[in-house]
Structure 1
Amino acid sequence: MTTAMTETRHGGTGGQSTVAARAREVVKAYGSGETRVVALNAVDVDVHRGQFTAIMGPSGSGKSTLMHCLAGLDTVTSGRIELDGTEITGLKDKKLTQLRRDKIGFIFQAFNLLPTLNALENITLPMDIAGRKPEPQWLERVVETVGLAGRLKHRPTELSGGQQQRVAVARALAARPAIIFGDEPTGNLDSRAGAEVLGFLRRSVDELGQTIVMVTHDPVAASYADRVIFLADGSIVDEMYAPTAEQVLDRMKDFDARGRTS
């Protein structure tokens, strides 16, 4: 199945390659012999710049494994992963760590904020560790985009769950990474706070030209994306552009029905 489509609904490429991340013939297997489990089975996928991509599938389909391999958090058994034009399969740990630090932003279900730091200090922490100074204008724009201007001096305990996740989103955006990966980023939020965070992610793509890949099980969350990739049994089985929550839900019901009859 070819996924290298060139259209984009949002954002621009700035003259760079339109592909931010690429997987080719990627296999990820655990164990060997009779106990061997294949989590990803010869996956080919391109993630386009300036787009919001959601990865969905039933439990055990390989969606989190694919994201972890694309982000260089997990190694592949065979195949090739490219990130921002660099092949990361086979990179030494030090180089891979540096590439993740410089090119990737992460947003997780757990907010992962340091309780002793205020919101602004949490946002700039990765850059502080790397010895880099944030660009003041960009930082201001990010803070404005995620609606945190009046909360920068507050510590995590003084913020709601939705506000804490906004801090995590701003932290991921602040270093201007080539790509942001989100693993169920609204999984710990109620529907209202989740919608706010998804709206900020959508705006970061539309207004800041960000590239986002998000693993989710939620059809409503997926409807914020430009494109949804569906996995089943370690393979990409479908994709959808300009999705609605209803369309995604119908597609997921197909998986459930297939699982019950198989």
Structure 2
Amino acid sequence: MTTTPIAGRATVVAARATELTKVYGQGETQVVALDHVSVDFRAAEFTAIMGPSGSGKSTLMHCVAGLDDFSSGSVRIGDTELGTLKDRQLTRLRRDKIGFIFQAFNLLPTLTAQENITLPMDIAGRKPDKQWLEEVVGMLGLGDRLAHRPSQLSGGQQQRVAVARALASRPEIIFGDEPTGNLDSRAGAEVLGFLRNSVRQLGQTVVMVTHDPVAAAYADRVVFLADGRIVDELHGPTADAVLDRMRMLPGGTGAPHGRGQAAAHRTV
């Protein structure tokens, strides 16, 4: 397992991108979505990825999560290099080591909450760890909702089921793409609190793309992208501090390009 020294101790790196580049199109229509991005995501840490529209934040998450290919560079999940995997191996890695939480919930309407939670493991032919599943369900307050179908649940409850599904197989890392984007502020705060607790209490690793400074304030650190590059980061964020940094970004509301530039490789 890859480690990086933090204040005299070795910390496990759950995922690492090195010189990651993603280019769409060719010639005059070419768009560089990611421009030699290097970043580490440490185990048992909650990281938010932010940036202006078109900055590359979702592309970065999708490439690191193995949902999209990349033009050059490398991505590792734990000790596994994604670029060396064949399609079947990549599918297995995503199933066994990665959890996903998406804005649209992606629950199957004909299944109960419990069946939706265990579906990925059922497909893989694996039995869930009963004690772990009970812990996750209890933490998310879903104990009395397991027999309900999605249509019988509120939006916040549906997203909690999606969070439980991502946690249930105990993946090495969970990726969330605007996981509270379809929720009202109260339900969104509940889901973010559960993600925060999964890091603190369960030792989970969470990487979340968001445009919301309030959501980002639940994270341990925020990584900022602009024009396909990492330009800044913030530890122990508050909503106000995140908003101030966003205003300084290229494409934000007023800082000159390059202000707040950070080191090319983020091993923090």
| 1:80-121: CA deviation from partner (whole Å, max 9, x where unpaired) | 100111000132111101100000000000011111111111
Q: How many residues align?
A: 252
State the distance in 1 between where 2:256 and 2:204 align: 39
Q: Out of 100, 108, 128, which is 1:106 matched to?
A: 100
Aligned counterparts, 1:134-213, within 5 A = 134-213=128-207
The answer on whether the counterparts of 1:31 and 1:37 sit within 8 Å (CA) in structure 2 is: yes
Structure 1: gaps (5+ residues): 8-12
TM-score, with normalisation over the residues of structure 1?
Answer: 0.93
Shift of 1:5: 6.6
Instruction: Return the offset for 1:77.
Output: 0.3
Tell me if 1:257 matches 2:253.
yes
Measure the CA separation in 1 of the matches of 2:28 and 2:255.
23
Q: Which residue of 2 aligns with 1:10?
A: none
**Alignment match, 1:6:** 6
Structure 2 residue matching 1:80: 3-state secondary structure: strand
**What residue in structure 2 maps to residue 220 of structure 1?**
214
CA contact (8 A) 2:74 2:81 kept: yes
Superposition pairs of residues 19-30 of structure 1, within 5 angstroms: 19-30=13-24
Identity %: 70
Contact 2:113 2:150 in 1 (8 A): yes
Q: Which runs of 4+ in 1 moved over 3 A?
A: 258-262
Q: Structure 1 residues 145-154 or 180-189, which shifts more?
A: 145-154
1:41 aligns with 2:38: no
* Secondary structure of 2:122's aligned partner: helix
How far apart are the structure 1 equivalents of 2:13 and 2:146?
Answer: 34
Q: TM-score, normalised by structure 2?
A: 0.91
| 1:258 Cα deviation after fit | 3.7
1:180-226 Cα offsets, whole Å, 9 max, x none, are 00000000000000000000000000000000000000000000000
> Which one is further off, 183-192 or 83-92?
83-92
Structure 1 counterpart SS, 2:106 = coil
1:77-96 to structure 2, matched below 5 A, reads 77-96=71-90
Please say if 1:241 is aligned against 2:241: no
Q: Which runs of 5+ in 2 are unaligned?
A: 259-268
Matched residue of 1:126: which SS?
helix
Q: Is the Cα–Cα contact under 8 Å of residues 6 and 18 in structure 1 kept in the other structure?
A: no
Q: Distance in 1 between matches of 2:255 and 2:65?
A: 29
Partner of 1:97: 91
Structure 1 counterpart of 2:60, which letter? L
Provide the rounded CA distance (Å) in 2 between the counterparts of 1:88 and 1:29. Answer: 18
Checking the alignment, whether the CA contact within 8 Å between 2:248 and 2:256 is kept in structure 1 is no
Q: Is the contact between residue 20 and residue 75 of structure 2 (CA under 8 Å) also seen in structure 1?
A: yes
Deviation at residue 260 of structure 1 after TM alignment: 9.3
Q: Over residues 100-150 of structure 1, what are the superposed CA-to-partner deviations in whole Å (9 max), with x where a residue is unaligned?
A: 000000000001111111111110000000000000000000001111111
Q: Distance in 2 between matches of 1:155 and 1:261?
A: 49
Task: State the Cα distance separating 1:259 from its structure 2 match.
Answer: 7.5
Letter in 2 for 1:51: E
Contact kept, 8 Å, 2:23 with 2:32, in 1: the verdict is: yes
